[in-house]
Amino acid sequence: MKITNDPSVCDRIVAVKLENISITNSPQWMQQRLLQVGQRPLNNVIDITNYVMWETGHPIHAFDYDKLKGKQIIIRTAKKGESFTTLDNKTYNTVGGEVVFDDGTGTI
């Protein structure tokens, strides 16, 4: 997978492609810990990324490769008015200048 990053936008990006992952519920202890910090548990993959962020202070994210239309990730700044939908199915528009991920066909 191709990754394009402007170091002035994001000074470090690390990517790992995992295959044959099963999406299931997270262990109860992890769900409880996420609820304690106000984070809604969703599934094992998303919950692991959120748990690591809360424990370490370093944001991480997981993308479903099969859903990346352009089969690439571009880290860039958003233009004003770009639309994206979050995991809770809410749609937002950028004001411009936010750091976003793009798959070559638009903000993801």
Domain residue spans of the chain: 2-102
* Mean pLDDT along residues 39-62: 94
pLDDT confidence bin for 48, thresholds 50/70/90: very high
Q: What is the pLDDT of residues 51-105, one digit of tens each?
A: 999 999 998 999 999 999 999 999 999 999 999 998 888 999 999 999 999 999 9
pLDDT at residue number 1: 85
**What is the spatial distance between Cα 35 and Cα 41, in angstroms, rounded to a whole number?**
7
User: In the prediction, which pLDDT does 50 show?
Assistant: 96
Other residues' Cβ atoms within 10 Å of the Cβ of residue 102: 19
CATH of 2-102, one of 3.40.640.10, 3.20.20.80, 3.50.40.10, 3.40.190.10: 3.50.40.10
